[in-house]
Structure 1
Protein backbone atom coordinates (compact mmCIF):
# COMPACT_ATOMS: atom_id res chain seq x y z
CA UNK A 1 0.00 0.00 0.00
CA UNK A 2 1.26 3.49 -0.83
CA UNK A 3 0.43 6.68 1.00
CA UNK A 4 0.22 10.02 -0.80
CA UNK A 5 0.32 13.19 1.26
CA UNK A 6 -1.65 15.96 -0.45
CA UNK A 7 -0.95 19.58 0.49
CA UNK A 8 -3.40 22.47 0.41
CA UNK A 9 -2.85 24.22 -2.95
CA UNK A 10 -4.27 27.49 -1.58
CA UNK A 11 -4.93 28.98 1.84
CA UNK A 12 -8.46 29.38 3.15
CA UNK A 13 -11.18 27.53 5.02
CA UNK A 14 -10.91 23.76 4.69
CA UNK A 15 -14.13 22.08 3.55
CA UNK A 16 -15.21 18.45 3.48
CA UNK A 17 -15.70 17.30 -0.11
CA UNK A 18 -19.29 16.31 0.67
CA UNK A 19 -20.01 19.98 1.43
CA UNK A 20 -18.91 21.24 -2.00
CA UNK A 21 -22.04 22.62 -3.75
CA UNK A 22 -21.46 20.59 -6.92
CA UNK A 23 -22.62 16.95 -7.11
CA UNK A 24 -19.74 15.93 -9.38
CA UNK A 25 -17.37 16.69 -6.51
CA UNK A 26 -19.56 16.18 -3.42
CA UNK A 27 -20.62 12.69 -4.52
CA UNK A 28 -17.02 11.69 -5.32
CA UNK A 29 -17.75 11.13 -9.03
CA UNK A 30 -14.27 12.36 -10.02
CA UNK A 31 -12.58 11.00 -6.90
CA UNK A 32 -12.38 11.68 -3.17
CA UNK A 33 -10.43 14.32 -1.26
CA UNK A 34 -11.27 17.68 0.29
CA UNK A 35 -11.71 21.33 -0.70
CA UNK A 36 -10.67 24.83 0.33
CA UNK A 37 -12.64 28.05 0.17
CA UNK A 38 -10.01 30.74 -0.44
CA UNK A 39 -12.47 33.60 -0.08
CA UNK A 40 -12.46 36.63 -2.42
CA UNK A 41 -8.73 37.18 -2.93
CA UNK A 42 -5.90 36.56 -5.37
CA UNK A 43 -3.87 33.46 -4.51
CA UNK A 44 -1.03 31.42 -5.96
CA UNK A 45 -2.23 27.84 -6.45
CA UNK A 46 0.65 25.46 -5.77
CA UNK A 47 1.38 21.84 -6.56
CA UNK A 48 -0.16 19.71 -3.78
CA UNK A 49 2.23 16.86 -4.63
CA UNK A 50 5.44 16.42 -6.61
CA UNK A 51 5.00 14.92 -10.05
CA UNK A 52 4.38 15.56 -13.72
CA UNK A 53 1.84 18.16 -14.80
CA UNK A 54 -0.33 15.70 -16.72
CA UNK A 55 -3.12 18.14 -17.60
CA UNK A 56 -3.03 21.93 -17.38
CA UNK A 57 -5.94 24.24 -18.08
CA UNK A 58 -6.34 27.78 -16.75
CA UNK A 59 -9.01 26.65 -14.23
CA UNK A 60 -7.67 23.20 -13.28
CA UNK A 61 -4.64 20.94 -13.27
CA UNK A 62 -3.79 17.29 -12.71
CA UNK A 63 -0.48 16.09 -11.30
CA UNK A 64 0.67 12.48 -11.64
CA UNK A 65 3.02 11.30 -8.90
CA UNK A 66 5.85 8.81 -9.41
CA UNK A 67 3.54 6.21 -7.85
CA UNK A 68 0.99 6.96 -10.63
CA UNK A 69 -1.47 8.71 -8.31
CA UNK A 70 -3.39 11.47 -10.10
CA UNK A 71 -4.31 14.57 -8.09
CA UNK A 72 -6.83 17.05 -9.52
CA UNK A 73 -6.97 20.69 -8.36
CA UNK A 74 -10.06 22.51 -9.68
CA UNK A 75 -10.04 26.29 -9.16
CA UNK A 76 -13.65 27.28 -8.57
CA UNK A 77 -16.91 25.74 -9.75
CA UNK A 78 -18.07 26.16 -13.37
CA UNK A 79 -14.95 28.26 -14.05
CA UNK A 80 -14.26 26.54 -17.37
CA UNK A 81 -16.84 29.00 -18.77
CA UNK A 82 -14.46 31.91 -18.01
CA UNK A 83 -12.08 30.88 -20.83
CA UNK A 84 -9.03 31.59 -18.69
CA UNK A 85 -10.16 34.98 -17.37
CA UNK A 86 -8.98 35.34 -13.76
CA UNK A 87 -6.19 32.76 -14.12
CA UNK A 88 -2.49 33.23 -14.89
CA UNK A 89 -0.72 29.98 -15.79
CA UNK A 90 2.98 29.85 -14.85
CA UNK A 91 4.02 26.39 -16.12
CA UNK A 92 3.46 24.10 -19.08
CA UNK A 93 1.64 20.80 -19.42
CA UNK A 94 4.22 18.01 -19.15
CA UNK A 95 6.51 19.90 -16.72
CA UNK A 96 7.91 18.09 -13.71
CA UNK A 97 7.03 20.04 -10.56
CA UNK A 98 7.89 19.93 -6.89
CA UNK A 99 5.25 20.07 -4.17
CA UNK A 100 4.78 23.72 -3.25
CA UNK A 101 5.71 25.09 -6.68
CA UNK A 102 3.36 27.79 -8.01
CA UNK A 103 1.31 26.57 -10.98
CA UNK A 104 -1.46 29.16 -11.45
CA UNK A 105 -2.27 32.55 -9.95
CA UNK A 106 -5.99 32.45 -9.22
CA UNK A 107 -8.11 35.60 -8.93
CA UNK A 108 -10.82 34.12 -6.73
CA UNK A 109 -12.20 37.62 -6.13
CA UNK A 110 -13.03 38.10 -9.83
CA UNK A 111 -14.55 34.60 -9.97
CA UNK A 112 -16.79 35.43 -6.99
CA UNK A 113 -17.68 38.82 -8.54
CA UNK A 114 -19.00 36.94 -11.60
CA UNK A 115 -21.34 34.97 -9.33
CA UNK A 116 -19.31 31.75 -9.40
CA UNK A 117 -18.16 29.81 -6.35
CA UNK A 118 -14.36 30.15 -5.84
CA UNK A 119 -14.04 26.91 -3.81
CA UNK A 120 -11.09 24.67 -4.74
CA UNK A 121 -11.83 20.91 -4.74
CA UNK A 122 -8.73 18.69 -4.53
CA UNK A 123 -9.27 15.01 -5.30
CA UNK A 124 -7.43 11.79 -5.96
CA UNK A 125 -8.52 10.95 -9.49
CA UNK A 126 -10.66 7.82 -9.78
CA UNK A 127 -10.51 7.11 -6.04
CA UNK A 128 -13.82 5.33 -5.44
CA UNK A 129 -13.39 4.63 -1.70
CA UNK A 130 -13.86 7.64 0.57
CA UNK A 131 -12.39 5.52 3.39
CA UNK A 132 -9.00 5.61 1.62
CA UNK A 133 -8.80 9.37 2.31
CA UNK A 134 -7.71 10.59 5.75
CA UNK A 135 -8.53 14.30 5.98
CA UNK A 136 -6.63 16.74 8.18
CA UNK A 137 -8.03 18.24 11.37
CA UNK A 138 -8.63 21.49 9.47
CA UNK A 139 -11.01 19.67 7.10
CA UNK A 140 -12.76 17.87 9.97
CA UNK A 141 -13.34 21.14 11.86
CA UNK A 142 -13.86 23.45 8.86
CA UNK A 143 -11.05 25.71 10.05
CA UNK A 144 -8.44 27.78 8.26
CA UNK A 145 -5.60 25.99 6.50
CA UNK A 146 -2.35 27.45 5.19
CA UNK A 147 -1.17 26.91 1.64
CA UNK A 148 1.26 23.98 1.73
CA UNK A 149 -0.19 22.45 4.92
CA UNK A 150 -1.34 18.81 4.80
CA UNK A 151 -4.91 18.73 3.45
CA UNK A 152 -5.32 14.93 3.42
CA UNK A 153 -3.49 11.66 2.88
CA UNK A 154 -4.58 8.99 0.43
CA UNK A 155 -3.91 5.30 0.93
CA UNK A 156 -3.99 2.97 -2.06
Structure 2
Protein backbone atom coordinates (compact mmCIF):
# COMPACT_ATOMS: atom_id res chain seq x y z
CA UNK A 1 0.00 0.00 0.00
CA UNK A 2 1.32 3.41 -0.95
CA UNK A 3 1.39 6.13 1.67
CA UNK A 4 1.82 9.75 0.59
CA UNK A 5 4.02 11.71 2.98
CA UNK A 6 3.29 15.44 3.20
CA UNK A 7 5.73 18.20 4.03
CA UNK A 8 5.25 19.29 7.64
CA UNK A 9 6.58 22.79 6.90
CA UNK A 10 6.90 25.28 4.07
CA UNK A 11 10.36 25.67 2.57
CA UNK A 12 12.82 23.97 0.21
CA UNK A 13 13.33 20.21 0.15
CA UNK A 14 16.83 18.81 0.34
CA UNK A 15 18.51 15.42 0.56
CA UNK A 16 18.77 13.88 4.02
CA UNK A 17 22.55 13.73 3.52
CA UNK A 18 22.56 17.56 3.81
CA UNK A 19 21.30 17.44 7.42
CA UNK A 20 24.10 18.52 9.81
CA UNK A 21 23.55 15.53 12.12
CA UNK A 22 24.97 12.06 11.42
CA UNK A 23 21.95 10.23 12.86
CA UNK A 24 19.78 11.76 10.12
CA UNK A 25 22.41 12.20 7.38
CA UNK A 26 23.35 8.51 7.56
CA UNK A 27 19.68 7.43 7.80
CA UNK A 28 20.30 5.62 11.09
CA UNK A 29 16.63 5.95 12.12
CA UNK A 30 15.32 5.61 8.58
CA UNK A 31 15.34 7.21 5.14
CA UNK A 32 13.45 10.32 4.13
CA UNK A 33 13.93 13.90 3.08
CA UNK A 34 14.62 17.18 4.82
CA UNK A 35 12.98 20.57 4.42
CA UNK A 36 14.83 23.83 4.99
CA UNK A 37 11.94 25.93 6.29
CA UNK A 38 11.07 29.36 5.06
CA UNK A 39 11.40 31.97 7.80
CA UNK A 40 8.81 33.27 10.17
CA UNK A 41 6.51 31.60 12.66
CA UNK A 42 4.62 28.66 11.18
CA UNK A 43 2.83 25.50 12.18
CA UNK A 44 4.40 22.13 11.52
CA UNK A 45 1.62 19.85 10.27
CA UNK A 46 1.05 16.10 10.40
CA UNK A 47 2.71 14.37 7.42
CA UNK A 48 0.12 11.52 7.41
CA UNK A 49 -3.20 10.52 8.94
CA UNK A 50 -2.61 8.65 12.18
CA UNK A 51 -1.97 8.84 15.89
CA UNK A 52 0.61 11.05 17.60
CA UNK A 53 2.71 8.39 19.34
CA UNK A 54 5.66 10.59 20.34
CA UNK A 55 5.37 14.28 21.08
CA UNK A 56 8.09 16.70 22.17
CA UNK A 57 8.11 20.44 21.50
CA UNK A 58 10.88 19.93 18.89
CA UNK A 59 9.84 16.57 17.38
CA UNK A 60 6.91 14.24 16.89
CA UNK A 61 6.01 10.86 15.40
CA UNK A 62 2.71 10.08 13.72
CA UNK A 63 1.93 6.37 13.34
CA UNK A 64 -0.48 5.26 10.63
CA UNK A 65 -3.21 2.67 11.09
CA UNK A 66 -0.94 0.00 9.56
CA UNK A 67 1.87 0.83 11.99
CA UNK A 68 4.20 2.95 9.86
CA UNK A 69 5.75 5.82 11.80
CA UNK A 70 6.84 9.17 10.37
CA UNK A 71 9.22 11.28 12.44
CA UNK A 72 9.27 15.06 12.05
CA UNK A 73 12.22 16.74 13.78
CA UNK A 74 12.01 20.54 13.96
CA UNK A 75 15.62 21.66 13.64
CA UNK A 76 18.84 20.05 14.83
CA UNK A 77 19.82 20.07 18.52
CA UNK A 78 16.61 21.99 19.25
CA UNK A 79 16.03 19.70 22.24
CA UNK A 80 18.50 22.05 23.96
CA UNK A 81 15.88 24.83 23.69
CA UNK A 82 13.79 22.91 26.26
CA UNK A 83 10.57 23.72 24.41
CA UNK A 84 11.14 27.47 24.31
CA UNK A 85 9.47 28.97 21.24
CA UNK A 86 7.48 25.81 20.45
CA UNK A 87 3.70 25.54 20.93
CA UNK A 88 1.99 22.14 21.01
CA UNK A 89 -1.40 22.01 19.26
CA UNK A 90 -2.12 18.32 20.02
CA UNK A 91 -1.53 15.81 22.80
CA UNK A 92 0.22 12.44 22.70
CA UNK A 93 -2.27 9.74 21.69
CA UNK A 94 -4.41 12.14 19.65
CA UNK A 95 -5.63 11.12 16.20
CA UNK A 96 -4.58 13.62 13.54
CA UNK A 97 -5.31 14.14 9.87
CA UNK A 98 -2.56 14.82 7.33
CA UNK A 99 -2.05 18.58 7.16
CA UNK A 100 -3.37 19.23 10.69
CA UNK A 101 -1.21 21.64 12.77
CA UNK A 102 0.82 19.75 15.40
CA UNK A 103 3.48 22.20 16.64
CA UNK A 104 3.88 25.95 16.19
CA UNK A 105 7.47 27.18 15.93
CA UNK A 106 9.74 29.85 14.47
CA UNK A 107 12.65 28.64 12.31
CA UNK A 108 14.22 32.12 12.50
CA UNK A 109 14.30 31.92 16.31
CA UNK A 110 15.91 28.45 16.08
CA UNK A 111 18.58 29.90 13.78
CA UNK A 112 19.06 32.91 16.09
CA UNK A 113 19.63 30.51 19.00
CA UNK A 114 22.50 28.95 17.03
CA UNK A 115 20.80 25.78 15.76
CA UNK A 116 20.01 24.52 12.28
CA UNK A 117 16.28 24.92 11.50
CA UNK A 118 16.34 22.09 8.92
CA UNK A 119 13.47 19.61 9.35
CA UNK A 120 14.18 15.92 8.72
CA UNK A 121 11.08 13.90 7.75
CA UNK A 122 11.90 10.24 8.37
CA UNK A 123 10.16 6.99 7.41
CA UNK A 124 11.03 5.16 10.64
CA UNK A 125 12.54 1.69 10.30
CA UNK A 126 11.95 1.66 6.54
CA UNK A 127 14.34 0.60 3.81
CA UNK A 128 15.37 3.34 1.39
CA UNK A 129 14.10 1.33 -1.60
CA UNK A 130 10.46 1.53 -0.42
CA UNK A 131 10.47 5.32 -0.77
CA UNK A 132 9.81 6.91 -4.14
CA UNK A 133 9.27 10.32 -5.65
CA UNK A 134 11.55 12.09 -3.18
CA UNK A 135 11.22 15.74 -4.08
CA UNK A 136 14.64 17.32 -3.54
CA UNK A 137 15.49 20.91 -4.32
CA UNK A 138 11.87 21.91 -4.71
CA UNK A 139 9.86 24.61 -2.98
CA UNK A 140 7.00 23.19 -0.94
CA UNK A 141 4.18 24.47 1.19
CA UNK A 142 3.19 22.68 4.39
CA UNK A 143 0.88 19.86 3.31
CA UNK A 144 2.44 19.32 -0.15
CA UNK A 145 3.47 15.72 -0.98
CA UNK A 146 7.24 15.16 -0.64
CA UNK A 147 7.57 11.38 -1.07
CA UNK A 148 5.67 8.10 -1.25
CA UNK A 149 6.23 5.16 1.11
CA UNK A 150 5.33 1.81 -0.46
CA UNK A 151 4.79 -1.18 1.80
**TM-score grouping bracket, smaller chain normalisation:** over 0.9
What do residues 101-130 of structure 1 show as CA deviations (whole Å, max 9, x unaligned)? 100001111100011000000001111x21
Match of 2:12 in 1: 13
Aligned to 2:44: 45
2:144 paired with 1:146: no
In structure 1, stretches of 5+ residues that fail to align are none
Return the offset for 1:40.
Answer: 3.1
> Is the contact made by 1:77 and 1:117 (CA closer than 8 Å) also made in structure 2?
yes
Per the alignment, residue 132 of structure 1 pairs with 130
* Runs (5+) with no aligned partner, structure 2: none
CA distance, structure 1, for counterparts of residue 142 and residue 33 of structure 2: 14
Using the alignment, how far apart are the partners of 2:8 and 2:93 within structure 1?
19
Instruction: Give the TM-score normalised by the residue count of structure 2.
Output: 0.96
Deviation at 1:143, TM superposition (A): 2.1
Deviations 1:27-55 (A, max 9, x none): 11011110100033211100010000001
For the aligned residue pairs, the C-alpha RMSD in angstroms reads: 1.0
Helix, strand or coil: the match of 2:17? helix
- 1:47–1:102 CA contact under 8 A, matched in 2: yes
Helix, strand or coil for the counterpart of 1:31?
coil
Contact kept in structure 1, 2:76 and 2:118, CA below 8 Å: yes
Q: Name the CA distance, whole Å, in 2 between partners of 1:73 and 1:51.
A: 13
Q: Which runs of 4+ in 1 moved over 3 A?
A: none
Say whether residues 1:155 and 2:113 are aligned partners. no
| 2:48 counterpart SS class | coil
Give the TM-score normalised by the residue count of structure 1. 0.93
Q: CA deviation digits over 1:6-44, x for unaligned, max 9?
A: 000001010111221211001110111101000332111
The answer to whether residue 61 in structure 2 is matched with residue 66 in structure 1 is: no
